[in-house]
Amino acid sequence: MQTLKNNLLEAVISPLGAELQGLIHVNHGNVLWRKNETHWNRISPILFPIVGRLIKDQYNHLGKTYAMRQHGFARDQIFQVMDENQCSITYRLQENNTTLGHYPFAFTLDVSYTLQDNRIEVNHRITNRDIDLLLYSIGGHPGFHVSGKLENHTLYFDGQFTVDQHLITGNYYNGNTKKLRLNHGLPLSEDLFQSDAIVVKNPPFHSIGFGEKNGPKLLTVHCEDWTAVGLWTKPGAPFFCIEPWWGWADAWNAEGILVQKAGILSLPHGEIREHRYTIEIH
């Protein structure tokens, strides 16, 4: 484990998956959930090179079929520490014999965590070292601690919005949507998540706050350019996830061809792209 620290925050990160394991505020304690594998065996995994699940857990690229588990392989790979100081650290993952069996691309994924006063910035920097287009999705999946019942908590939005919630059946989008009205906030309940996550594609907002009802916001997740956001928990579980995504799972009728996958991103040879979000503790 590596630890970052300033006068307000302490972050604990594991090289396994470059996963944030703890985010401790001087007044609030650890705002991330305390992992209990009865509910979920992750805390804040990195989703790469896919977000969500593929049809039959596989895809076709250039005539060859590759197996890929839900959310990809980065969360189960050991990252190398490339740079580190008291308030910032960068981890690196590149293709290896394991990844090439599932994903035939040469890439560099650098994940940086940086403390800035009461915020932690998470930056994913992707370099295409392959001769062809790099096809990928990426996302964050931080799970925040829920004290007491989920119904005692609410989400906060920076305006009034009516968005399409893309509905899910058995891990896949079923083609249906329903209107979700966000009047500066969304009261939480377990009923909202009976079928699966709430997913909004191309969200019109750039931040989501989280806290107890009738109380101050505990934290806000900021992201300027997410292409989707997922909101998720499990019944009775003491966590709630606000997930910045650049990509999403397959629809039930997807053909399984990677270059045609809805939400997939492409990066030309030799180019670099960054995807970042920030967690602010109030």
- Position 151 scores a pLDDT of 95
Residue 100's φ and ψ, nearest 5 degrees, are -65, -25
What pLDDT sits at residue 36? 87
Q: What is the pLDDT of residue 174?
A: 95
The band of 237, judged by pLDDT with boundaries at 50, 70 and 90, is very high
Please give the class, per CATH, of domain 2-281.
Answer: mainly beta
Q: Dump pLDDT digits (tens) for 13-56.
A: 999 999 999 999 999 999 999 988 889 999 999 999 999 999 99
Residue 187 is encoded by which pair of tokens?
Answer: 């009261």
**Residue 194: per-residue pLDDT:** 84
Q: Mean pLDDT, to the nearest integer, of 92-112?
A: 97
Average of pLDDT values for 136-154?
A: 96
pLDDT of amino acid 38: 87
Q: Residue 22: what residue type?
A: G
In one letter, which amino acid is 33? W
Residue pair 111/272 in contact (Cβ under 8 Å)? The answer is no
Q: Are strands 2-5 and 80-84 parallel, antiparallel or unpaired?
A: unpaired
Quick one: tokens of 150? 């989920």
Task: Report, as an integer, the average pLDDT of 232-251.
Answer: 96
**pLDDT top residue among 236 and 75:** 75
How far, in Å, are 59, 60, 113, 261, 264 from residue 257 at the CA level?
6, 5, 33, 6, 11
Token code pair at residue 49: 């090179």
Arithmetic mean of pLDDT, 95-113: 97
Per-residue pLDDT at 195: 79
Q: What is the mean pLDDT of residues 112-124?
A: 98
Q: Left, alpha or beta for 204 (phi > 0: left; psi -120 to 50: alpha)?
A: alpha
In this prediction, residue 1 has a pLDDT band, given cuts at 50, 70 and 90, of: very high
Strand-pair partners of 112: 90, 123
pLDDT at 215: 81
Q: Which pLDDT belongs to residue 196?
A: 85
Band of residue 256 on the pLDDT scale cut at 50, 70, 90: very high
The whole-number pLDDT of residue 109 equals 98
The residue type of 134 is L
| For the chain, domain boundaries | 2-281
Q: pLDDT tens digits for 183-224?
A: 899 999 999 998 789 999 999 999 999 999 988 899 999 999
Task: Give the confidence band of 163 by pLDDT, cuts at 50, 70, 90.
Answer: very high
Task: Give the three-class secondary structure for 88.
Answer: strand
Give me 78's structure tokens.
């050991």
Q: What sign for the dihedral angle of Cα 61, 125, 44, 106?
A: positive
Quick one: pLDDT at residue 277?
98
Q: Which of 110, 158, 170, 105 is nearest to 131 (CA)?
A: 105
End-to-end CA distance of the chain: 26
Q: Please, which pLDDT band fits residue 227 given cuts at 50, 70 and 90?
A: very high
pTM of the model: 0.96
Average pLDDT value for residue range 154-168: 95
Read off the amino acid at residue 71. H
Q: What is the pLDDT of residue 18?
A: 98
Cα–Cα distance, 57 to 265 (Å, whole number) = 19
242, 221 Cβ separation under 8 angstroms:
yes
